[in-house]
Structure 1
Amino acid sequence: MGGALTTRRLLAMIAAGLVLLIGVLTMWQPVYLSEFDNYGLQISCGSGFFADLSHAEIVDGGPGPSTDACQSALLIRRVWAIPTMVLGAAVLLTLALRGTRVVSPQSRN
């Protein structure tokens, strides 16, 4: 039963795929600070994939506390989202690429 696609293995692959998807979607979502600029807009920092510190630099008038806060928020997002993606991908690939074992009738005894 080594390589057969059993219900348990299929469910594990679906779960691993969902973990991977959660990591990717989390990295894709924008990162905002809890602070607002002078116009009432929440300060945007970009996404987990691409940092965009321009809004924070405009608020600070150059590199400053909002820029540092954005970098910290992006780091926190990446610290947990990247391992989530890696774990999901690793488990999914391991389950998908697991080889089949050939069991001869003589070896069952």
Structure 2
Amino acid sequence: MGGELTTRRLLAMIAAGLVLLIGVLAMWQPVHLSEFDNYGLQISCGSGFFADMSHPEIADGGPGPLTEQCESALLFRRGWAIPTMVLGAGALLVLALRGSRVVSPRSRQ
């Protein structure tokens, strides 16, 4: 019962993998503000993995309100994407390890 891969566990593993993938993609996607610079370009803050404050600092003429907005936007993105990745990875790990238990003939009695 513990070693076989049931359809239910397989579907749960696929769902956990999708949750992990959603978190990774959210961290990978660029974070933009709704503000635009003098050239009409949307202010870019980097991604969830790597912050890039060069664009808001250039638009502000140094650290300023746009930089603070970028920091807030990155914090918000990381605030939900990291727990999503952890939840997906944890569930996937538990489901994978749960199936690798060896059931001895004595424990079946």
Normalised by the length of structure 1, the TM-score is: 0.93
Q: How does 1:3-82 map to 2 (within 5 A)?
A: 3-82=3-82
Runs of 4+ in 1 over 2 A off after TM superposition: 103-108
Identical amino acids, percent of aligned pairs: 78
Structure 1: runs of 5+ lacking an equivalent:
none
Tell me the distance in 2 between the aligned counterparts of 1:75 and 1:65: 15
Tell me the distance in 2 between the aligned counterparts of 1:3 and 1:61: 61
Normalised by the length of structure 2, the TM-score is: 0.93
Amino acid at match of 1:92: L
Secondary structure of the structure 2 residue equivalent to 1:59: helix
Tell me the distance in 1 between the aligned counterparts of 2:38 and 2:85: 36
Structure 2: runs of 5+ lacking an equivalent:
none
Match of 1:87 in 2: 87
| Per-residue CA distance 1:5-47 (angstroms, 9 max, x = gap) | 1000000000000000000000000000000001110000000
The answer to whether the 8 A contact 1:16-1:88 is kept is yes
Instruction: Give the length in aligned residue pairs.
Output: 108
| Per-residue CA distance 1:46-99 (angstroms, 9 max, x = gap) | 000000000000000000000000000000000000000000000001111123
